[in-house]
Structure formats: C-alpha cells, structure tokens
Amino acid sequence: MRGYIFSDMERRRLRLWLESGVEDRETRRLFVAVRRGFVRLASDVELLVAVSRRLREEGRMAGRGRLP
C-alpha cells in the first residue's frame, strides 16, 4: 500500500494554490486528477479510517501487529 496520495511537489503546488490562488498548467493537471479520482479516493480513505479505528480498538495500531 502506498503511504501517500500526493507527491511532495504536488502538495506544494496545491498548498500554494489554496493560499494564494496561483495556478499553472501543472496545477490545472492536478485539478483534473483530483476530479477523476475523488470518488474512489474518498471511498478508500473511509475504508482506511474504519480499518485504523478497528486496529486501534483491538490494540494493534502501535508497534508490530500481532495476531489475536
């Protein structure tokens, strides 16, 4: 599983746009990717949160996971 959605450069571009409204061709390309992937990504984030919550409840979130 990947540990990120955006690369460091994509994060910088998107934060710059949120703070100042500055955009260029690459920023607009990111907007297209966000629109295309949003539904699936949002669903995956919901699943990630649910799994994380369950692992935390079972005391399996910190350290190396052990089988119950």
Domain extent for 21 = 8-57
38 domain residue, yes or no: yes
62 domain residue, yes or no: no
* Structural domain total, the chain: 1
List Cα–Cα distances, 14 to 17, 20, 38, in angstroms: 5, 10, 15
> pTM for the full model?
0.73
Kindly give the residue spans of alpha helices, DSSP state H, lying in the chain. 8-20, 25-57
Q: How far apart are the first and last CA of the chain?
A: 22
| pLDDT for res 68 | 60
Span 25-49, pLDDT tens digits:
999 999 999 999 999 999 999 999 9
22 domain residue, yes or no: yes
63 domain residue, yes or no: no
